[in-house]
Amino acid sequence: MGLPGFVTPIQLKRTAQTGHSAVGDPVVTTSIVWTKRGHYQEEQGTHVQGDTGPIEYQVFKFWIPFLTGSDRPVITDKLIADGYEYMVTEIEQESLKHHLIVRAHRVED
């Protein structure tokens, strides 16, 4: 049984280096770690501090089930919801047995 309000399918996508090619170049793979139900919404008036100053992004707040180990999102993982990708920029722990709050910004192609 899912949590009330957690109705949107959300996927966690992770990129990892898995080895090296014959010429020494890194071999990078992308995989879907999991698909869970959650909730997300846009935060108004937020931005991310870049190296040269603030950068305006569409920042979203995700509520996902509480996860541990390799299932737990990390910075630079991507969340996929409703056909869009969002890069994880911050993880807040909300409730050990209920959910995590993750902030992410939309990745534009």
d(CA 105, CA 86): 5
Please give the angle made by the CA atoms of 56, 62 and 67, to the nearest 5 degrees: 135
Is 66 within the bounds of a domain? yes
Tokens of 25: 């170049």
pTM for this prediction? 0.77
Query: For residue 46, what pLDDT is reported?
Result: 58
Is 1 within the bounds of a domain? no
Task: Quickly tell me which residue has 């966690």 as its tokens.
Answer: 12
Is 59 within the bounds of a domain? yes
* CATH code at position 89: 2.40.10.270
Is 15 within the bounds of a domain? yes
Return averaged pLDDT per consecutive 10 residues of the chain, 109 residues in all.
74 85 83 94 71 75 90 93 93 76 82
* CA-closest candidate to residue 102, choices 49, 50, 66, 69: 66
Is 85 within the bounds of a domain? yes
Q: How many residues does the chain have?
A: 109
Is 27 within the bounds of a domain? yes
Is 34 within the bounds of a domain? yes
Q: What is the number of structural domains in the chain? A: 1
d(CA 72, CA 94): 13
Tokens of 29: 């793979």
Q: Domain range holding 80?
A: 8-106
Is 3 within the bounds of a domain? no
